Structure 1
Amino acid sequence: MNLFNNRRRFLGASMAAASGVAVAGTGLIASAQASAAQPGGNVKEPAVIGYPNTKGVQIERVTYPARNMGTSIIANVFKPAGFDQRKTYAAIVVTHPFGGVKEQTAGLYAMHLAEQGFVTLAYDASYQGESGGEPRLMEVPAQRLDDISCAIDFLAQQAYVDAARIGSLGICAGGSYAMGNAQTELRVKAIATVSMFNLGDARRNAMGLLSYEERIKRLKDASEQRSKEARGEPVRLVPVVPESAAEFTDKTPDLYRQGHEYYVTARAKHPNSPNRYAFSSLPLQMAFFPFDQVETISPRPILMIAGELADTKFWSDEVLAKAQEPKELFVVKGATHMDMYDKPQFVVPATAKLTSFYRQYL
């Protein structure tokens, strides 16, 4: 019963976050647009927050098209120490969480895997970070799926990448995007997730725990906001996680308490990750069903990594039950959802497992 109650509080809080308080967005939008306009070239430091590059990984800042948008995606490519342009390497696309950017946990996992001999790519999603797309800070699942394919487009053009050995890794909501993309993106040969978060389920009816009337009310509010923006009114931005610890209650789940610590404090705060998203994109999120055809990924392998104490682990369990072989759930003892983002005692075993997985299947 306690597990059910915790899951109910978690899903309810997820829905509440989706309909958060409006904030003045003009400054954030202008800042994001300025970042997106910057060309590729030298890597901005730090390429990975809180993890110095001491093992000789080469990092290259690249720009490539978001094919269906006519805009550009900015990414960091990580190449292993001793990289040889004449050789070919297995490559891994790393997709960041909802609200994140490439310099945070996606970059950290990309760095660790590059240390193990893979070419990896961590990018900013369309509408976010340094990548293009307006209105700023939109969360558009369909485009997020294609962003992964755009990264594969880039990698497949590089002479040093073996196009038959490309893998996908997604963290948090990036995990549900990696899972959704792989169902139709057959260039992906192996799929892994860390702390998978089903954004569509969290934004809809919370697995039946959100009433139909409440769901429709939120859709109505978001649709009306989109009409306002179409008429030229400011974009309404709402928080991804609580902006202040003062907002916590006894019902705030660990994911959001720890999410605040990760995104809003010095632990991983980044100027291109302002803890906001465009509320008018909520209906697009509700329309996202990333697990619907997960069984079609087989015979390509799936690895899911989740913390033992994560209040989101049930989503990895759901995929494990539905997916066909080969599949595996690797549980990291003592870890919560957010612990898996950057805490060394949990990231190190996760990286070791990812390394053996990709070496086996790529």
Structure 2
Amino acid sequence: MKTDVTFLSSSLTLSGILFLPDTPTAARLPAVVVGHPSGGVKEQTASIYAERLAHEGFAALVFDAAYQGESEGEPRGLEDPFQRAEDIKSAVSSLTTREEIDSDRIGALGICASGGYVPYAAQTDLRIKAVATVSAGDLGSVMRDGLGRAQHPPVMRSMLELAAAARTAEARGEAVHRQEWITEAVDAETYEYYRTPRGHHPRAVLPWPVHSLDRIIQYDSYARIRLISPRPLLMIIGSDANTAYISQEAIERAAEPKELFVIDGGTHVSLYDRDEHVTPAVARLSSFYATHLTVAHGPAGPSTRA
């Protein structure tokens, strides 16, 4: 069962979908906030995971990030890591107001770039009781150093110069400078998901404002990842993912309890939607959340929370 919802984040109205188990229960539900990849929208891989988690007995909230999808914000398509983290915290706030949700049993799941944003938000939002990622990406690292850290240092400088020029031009009244960033030349697997019927959505991966770049480059997903402890951290990767090193290094930096779960044969994007890889990922996530979002707090009804 799913319901369209809205909530505020930094005075912007975000559009979401709340997935609930089909079988009603008298007890308040454990819930998971699910963040979508950079440039993606709630209807894509985030909804695949949310719907499956709902089948396992969890409430799951997906939403379009500010400036993206059906959510408010100008300029359209802006990728602001700090706002993305605020969106996750605002999604948690929204769940705490719902009568069917146990506000003491809220976890979060980040997919791709949200696999950086969710841990970043959870570092300082103690309401997130269990933190998980699938095919995590640190967009800041990728923009600074390239995927696999293969980028030549002058490239980052050139991106910052583009962002600076765009800000100046827009301040002088020019239209927002935009850039295509999901291209076959950049990453053929990601292109195939977003640009073909496999995962295409008309509101996804629009050309982003160039001044997204300076916001992203200054951002570090895992700088204070140890602050998640003593809450649990689970990071799921495919054995063949070109981003696997990001989760491996994040786990090394994190404090216990922590787990790196590897799906044999999986790639970064196959974990988005390929059943043979999504199924074991959801099984591990369900067990993880069932273990760490365990304490029920009575039946749903009039709220007594302050």
Superposed pair shares fold, TM > 0.5:
yes
User: Does 1:317 pair with 2:251?
Assistant: no
Counterpart for residue 299 of structure 2: none
Task: Give the deviation of 1:211 after TM superposition.
Answer: 4.5
Matches of 1:300 and 1:117, distance apart in 2: 21
Alignment match of 2:116 (pick from 151, 176, 179): 176
What pairs up with 1:39-54 in 2 under 5 angstroms? none
Question: Alignment partner for residue 198 of structure 1, among 138, 145, 151?
Answer: 138
- The corresponding residue for 2:89 is 149
What is the match of residue 261 of structure 2?
A: 330
In the aligned structure 1, how far is the partner of 2:244 from the partner of 2:219?
19
SS at match of 1:163: strand
Of 15, 19, 26, the residue aligned with 1:74 is 15
What amino acid sits opposite 2:180 in the alignment? P
* 1:296 match: 227
Which residue number corresponds to residue 175 of structure 2?
234
Instruction: Give the SS at the match of 1:62.
Output: strand
RMSD: 1.4
Q: CA deviation at 1:205?
A: 3.2
Which blocks of at least 5 consecutive residues in structure 2 are unaligned?
294-306
- Aligned equivalents of 1:63, 1:275: Cα separation in 2: 22
- The yes-or-no answer on 1:62 pairing with 2:2 is no
Q: Contact 1:264–1:275 (CA<8 Å) still a contact in 2?
A: no
Aligned to 1:54: none
- 1:279 shift after superposition: 1.2
CA distance in 1, matches of 2:18, 2:175: 35
Kindly state the Cα deviation for residue 296 of structure 1 after the two structures are TM-superposed. Answer: 1.3
Q: Distance in 2 between matches of 1:321 and 1:232?
A: 47
**Pair 1:218-2:218 in alignment:** no
CA distance in 2, matches of 1:199, 1:264: 20
Structure 1 counterpart SS, 2:202 = coil
Runs of 4+ in 1 over 3 A off after TM superposition: 205-214
Deviation at 1:213, TM superposition (A): 3.6
Q: Residue 272 of structure 1: which of 203, 206, 212 is its match?
A: 203
1:283 corresponds in structure 2 to: 214
Q: Whole-Å Cα distance in 2 between the matches of residues 238 and 203 of structure 1? A: 14
Paired residues of 2:77 and 2:206 also in contact (CA < 8 A): no
CA distance in 2, matches of 1:312, 1:118: 28
TM-score, normalised relative to structure 2? 0.92
The match for 2:106 is 166
Where structure 1 has 5 or more consecutive residues not aligned to the other structure, the ranges are 1-57
Amino acid corresponding to residue 144 of structure 1 in structure 2: R
Q: How far off its partner does 1:220 sit?
A: 1.3
Give the secondary structure class of the aligned counterpart of 1:258: helix
- Cα distance in 1 between the residues matched to 2:30 and 2:251: 26
Aligned to 2:296: none
User: Any idea what the Cα deviations from partners look like across 1:230-282, whole Å, max 9, x if unmatched?
Assistant: 2221222222321xxxx54xxx6xxx111111101111111111442211110
Q: Is the 8 A contact 1:168 1:191 kept in 2?
A: yes
Determine the structure 1 residue equivalent to 2:125. Answer: 185
1:66-145 paired onto structure 2 within 5 Å: 66=9, 68=10, 70-84=11-25, 86-145=26-85
**Percentage of identical aligned residues:** 42
Q: Distance in 1 between matches of 2:42 and 2:171?
A: 30
**AA in 2 matched with 1:313:** A
